[in-house]
């Protein structure tokens, strides 16, 4: 073979050689005007290329925790994420997480019945309005004594000033307020039980 600079004996050996990756590699080098590579040199390059590709292929393998499946390539994983079965299982997993959190809230005494939905909605609406209102540079400066707190705003007051970043979000303040009310009710019930027991 003039391209690979190797002597081949017999037509079968020559045909087999022409089908090898080594011969094709040397053909490309010849077209590019480069010298051919020996068989040993080609094998070294192949090993080096495989060594470089091995960590990449390991990193490309991904795992779907929702479906408990492993994928050899990122493309297969992306296709899986779009599948109907994965979407359904993901919805079920999310609903399970919500149920678990609701159970924990019930254990803490923050059940659905004890939540004042109107106050929550008002606090959420106020937080949204605060996000979409004027920028802090354009907002008029209102002294702290005049501006209502987010809790007062949630209770029905009107506030136009942006929330201070150090201040707690309205929703957190509302939950803390509800927790204090609940603790107070429990103390009153315990004191009533103590009085009834005497």
Asked if 126 and 164 sit in the same domain, the reply is yes
Q: What is the mean pLDDT of residues 19-47?
A: 87
Asked if 46 and 19 sit in the same domain, the reply is yes
- 57: CB partners within 8 A, 6+ apart: 72
Q: What is the mean pLDDT of the chain?
A: 73
Residue 162 lies in a domain: yes
Residue 188 lies in a domain: yes
Residue 163 lies in a domain: yes
Q: Count how many domains the chain has.
A: 3
Rounded-to-5 percentages of helix, strand, coil across the chain: 65, 5, 35
Could you tell me which residue, 87 or 157, shows the higher pLDDT?
87
- Tell me 8's DSSP state: -
Residue 157 burial class via C-beta count within 10 angstroms: exposed 0-12, middle 13-18, buried 19 and up: middle
Asked if 53 and 74 sit in the same domain, the reply is no
Q: What is the mean pLDDT of residues 133-156?
A: 46
Asked if 38 and 79 sit in the same domain, the reply is no
Q: What is the mean pLDDT of residues 66-95?
A: 83
Could you tell me which residue, 109 or 101, shows the higher pLDDT?
101
H or E stretch at 91: helix 84-108
Residue 175 lies in a domain: yes
pTM (whole model) above 0.75:
no
Residue 110 lies in a domain: no
Asked if 54 and 75 sit in the same domain, the reply is no
Asked if 48 and 20 sit in the same domain, the reply is yes
Residue 194 burial class via C-beta count within 10 angstroms: exposed 0-12, middle 13-18, buried 19 and up: exposed
Residue 4 lies in a domain: no
Residue 31's domain comprises 11-59
Q: Is the pLDDT at 15 greater than 80, yes or no?
A: yes
Euclidean distance between CA atoms 151 and 115, whole angstroms: 15
Q: How many CB atoms lie within 10 A of CB 139?
A: 12
For tokens 């979407």, what's the residue?
87
pLDDT at 64: 82
Q: By the 8 A CB rule, do 124 and 171 touch?
A: yes
Residue 135 lies in a domain: yes
Q: What is the mean pLDDT of residues 33-50?
A: 86
User: In 3-state terms, what secondary structure has residue 44?
Assistant: helix
Q: Looking at 71-75, 105-109, 132-136, which range is the least confident one?
A: 132-136
Asked if 124 and 186 sit in the same domain, the reply is yes
Asked if 172 and 124 sit in the same domain, the reply is yes
């Amino acid at each position: 073979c003039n391209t690979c600079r190797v002597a081949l004996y017999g037509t079968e050996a020559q045909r087999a050689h022409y089908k090898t990756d080594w011969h094709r590699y040397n053909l490309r080098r010849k077209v590019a005007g480069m010298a051919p590579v020996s068989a040993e040199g080609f094998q070294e390059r192949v090993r080096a290329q495989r060594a470089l590709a091995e960590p990449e292929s390991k990193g490309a393998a991904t795992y779907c925790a929702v479906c408990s499946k492993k994928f050899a390539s990122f493309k297969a994983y992306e296709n899986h994420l779009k599948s109907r079965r994965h979407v359904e299982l993901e919805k079920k997993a999310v609903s399970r997480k919500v149920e678990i959190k609701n159970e924990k809230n019930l254990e803490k005494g923050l059940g659905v019945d004890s939540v004042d939905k109107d106050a929550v909605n008002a606090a959420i609406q106020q937080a949204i309005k605060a996000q979409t209102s004027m920028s802090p540079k354009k907002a008029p400066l209102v002294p702290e004594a005049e501006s209502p707190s987010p809790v007062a705003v949630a209770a029905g007051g009107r506030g136009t000033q942006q929330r201070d970043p150090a201040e707690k979000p309205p929703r957190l303040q509302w939950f803390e307020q509800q927790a204090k009310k609940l603790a107070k009710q429990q103390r009153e019930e315990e004191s009533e039980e103590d009085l009834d027991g005497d």
